[in-house]
Each structure stands twice: as structure tokens, then as C-alpha cells.
Amino acid sequence: MAVECTCVFGGVGSLKETELVAQRGNDNFFDFDILNNDLDVADLLWFRVATKQDFLTDADAEFVKTRSGGIADVDAPNGIFQVQLEPGDVATLEDGAYVFHCVIRKADANMDTTLARGVMRLTGP
């Protein structure tokens, strides 16, 4: 079984607090739509999940997804990408609330921009 969620954002710099729900034992898909922004093949994307509210690095995260593993372009010219969480990503985590950040570094910029942050609720089967 797959669980899907779509998040639409006003564009880079238009931060929105979001709540995601992931179900243990399932593939979970989160679609992100960055309105009015395309995704260049050289843009970097991260989706980080952690137990503490303020975290900035991969080392602080319970797990990380990137374009090289777990983030796929759905419609790059229109800024749509998908984060996939597999059952093994959350296997060692307890049910409950975790914080997440979804971050982009555009190829023509040298700074990271948080696209979304919020709570990811993990529930059992």
C-alpha cells in the first residue's frame, strides 16, 4: 500500500508550515510543487527528518533523502518533485511526531532555501 500527500508552495522563499503523515510498513510518497520555479538538473534537494525542532545538517537527522536517493523529479520544468519514504527508512523510529525540513539549493545560488518545514507524524500499521 502507498500513502500519498501533495504539498504546494508559493515558490522559493515562500515558507509554509506543513503536516505530513507517514504510515509504518508502507511506501509513503510526498509530492512537492514549487510554483513558478523550475528544477534544474544541477539543483540540490534535501528532505530531512529529525527528532529535535532546530536542526540544520544531515548529521542531526534520523534520515535524509536527496535527488540521488529518495527524491525524484515528477515534472522538473514546473518544479514538481516527489519524496519517497520506504518502510526501512522509519523501521527504527517510534510512532510519534518528528520535524522535517525540505531544502533546495538552486544551481545558480550558493545558499540553501527551506521550501517547507513542519511535523511528520509517524503512525503504526
pLDDT, tens only, 46-93: 999 988 766 667 778 899 999 999 999 999 988 889 999 999 999 999
Confidence (pTM): 0.84
Residue 17 or residue 102, greater confidence: 102
Residue 8 or residue 101, greater confidence: 101
Report how far residue 24's alpha carbon sits from residue 17's, in angstroms, rounded to the nearest whole number.
23
Q: What cell does 72 get? A: 525524484
- pLDDT in the model for residue 54: 64
pLDDT band at 33 (very low <50, low <70, confident <90, very high): confident
> What is the chain's mean pLDDT, rounded?
83
Cα-based angle 86, 51, 60 (whole degrees, multiple of 5): 85
- pLDDT in the model for residue 84: 95
Report how far residue 61's alpha carbon sits from residue 49's, in angstroms, rounded to the nearest whole number.
5
Class of domain 2-87+94-123: mainly beta
pLDDT band at 113 (very low <50, low <70, confident <90, very high): confident
Q: Where are the domains of the chain?
A: 2-87+94-123
